[in-house]
Amino acid sequence: MLHLRLLVPAALSTEVIALLEGWTGLAHLSVVTGASRLPLGDLVEADVVRECADDLIGELVALGLDRDGSIAVDATELSVSTRAERAAVQAPGNATDAMVWRDLEARVGQDAELTGTFLTFLTIATLLAGIGIVTDSAITIVGAMVLGPEFGPLAAIAVGLVRRRPALMRRGVVSLLIGFALAMAVTAAAAFVAVRTEVFFPELVDLNIETEFIYEPGFLSFVVAVLAGAAGMLSLTSRQSTALVGVFISVTTVPAAGYVAVGLVLDEWDKVAGSAAQLGINVVGIVASAVTMLLLRRAVRRRSIRRAAVRAA
């Protein structure tokens, strides 16, 4: 169940209320006339089942409410109401499978912002990967995978492709390019200082066994990236955030970037090439499978709506 809080200009109030009253999946509706001051108009609140919310928000935007008023949406964790239960039965599809596209765009757009926090997390994760590489520590590599925030920009690229939002795609690409460039530069500088101060000895890296999967990509690397991208997008669209931890552990983007940085300092060009290929495979696989998952979920949703319309007819 989603709770809509609308600030409706007086000129739009009649249209908005009529739209809400006739909407399938609406459970509750309240109107406080004259309660809004900016804009001058009414406060309208409504509870609607999740699977009917996306189209409703689209209709409200078509009326110009986003421009002249305000549309705020909050998730309702618990609604004890017979009307809510009846609305859920009448609505086509299932709440778990339903998506609110504007909510998804807003969330991935925020996660893809090139901020100091994003750059810091990515840099720390890449540094951890570098330490895991020189110490041959799989546990440290896993920690770097979990800490890396790169799935946000990758998800933004996928959503931007499906929704045809060039600005969203551009935001994701810029964040990835600048973020990885900075993280790898800092990691390379740290590795250079560590070698010169004999914190570690380069020849020990050749004996690594636990981390060799990073610079030896193969078909299974692409399969893992595809599965991780699909699971990650499914987690985002169904709000199952706990599943994202498993996604982070599966992908090898940050470790690959760390190996490129360390390999450049150590003149390990074969490993640099292999790690760069691993990084590319992961990025392409994640984005491609995330796009496929979004298209599949959209197709399933449209089919559910058509079947519900046929039943109603």
Q: Strand 41-48 vs strand 70-75: parallel, antiparallel, or unpaired?
A: unpaired
- Is 81 in contact with 61 (CB distance < 8 Å)? no
Contacts 24+ apart (CB under 8 A), 55-63: 56/4, 56/19, 56/20, 56/23, 56/25, 57/4, 57/100, 57/102, 59/19, 60/6, 60/16, 60/19, 63/12, 63/15, 63/16, 63/19
- Is 232 in contact with 247 (CB distance < 8 Å)? yes
pLDDT in tens, 231-276: 888 888 876 665 566 666 667 899 999 999 998 988 888 889 999 9
pLDDT in tens, 280-296: 999 999 999 999 999 98
Q: Given this model, what pLDDT does residue 226 score?
A: 92
Q: What count of Cα atoms within 13 Å lies in the side-chain half-sphere of residue 161?
A: 17
Confidence of residue 87 (pLDDT cuts 50, 70, 90): confident
Among 38-47, 94-103, 110-119, 175-184, the range scoring the smallest mean pLDDT is: 94-103
Report the percentage of the chain scoring pLDDT > 70. 88
pLDDT in tens, 26-51: 999 999 999 999 899 999 999 998 88
Residue carrying the six token digits 């459970």: 27
Q: Given this model, what pLDDT does residue 32 score?
A: 93
Residue 116, sorted as left (phi over 0), alpha (psi -120 to 50) or beta, turns out to be alpha
Which letter, b or e, does each residue of 5-39 get, where b requires 16 or more Cβ atoms within 10 Å of its Cβ?
Answer: ebbbbeebbeebbebbeebbbbbeeebeeeebeeb
Identify the sign of the CA torsion 149, 155, 161, 163: negative
Q: What stretch of H or E contains 245?
A: helix 243-250
For residue 3, the cross-strand partners are: 47, 74
pLDDT in tens, 108-163: 999 899 999 999 999 999 999 998 888 888 888 988 998 889 999 999 999 999 99
pLDDT above 90 (res 85): no
The residues, any chain, with a CB within 8 Å of residue 202's CB and separated by 6 or more, are: 195, 266
Q: Given this model, what pLDDT does residue 211 score?
A: 76
Q: Given this model, what pLDDT does residue 46 score?
A: 93
pLDDT in tens, 190-208: 999 988 887 776 666 665 6
Task: Give dist(CA 123, CA 131) in Å, integer.
Answer: 12
- Is 84 in contact with 1 (CB distance < 8 Å)? yes
pLDDT above 90 (res 166): yes
pLDDT in tens, 50-83: 888 888 998 999 999 999 999 999 888 788 888 8
Mean pLDDT of the chain: 86
Confidence of residue 95 (pLDDT cuts 50, 70, 90): low
Phi, psi angle pair for 31, to nearest 5°? -130, 125
pLDDT above 60 (res 312): no
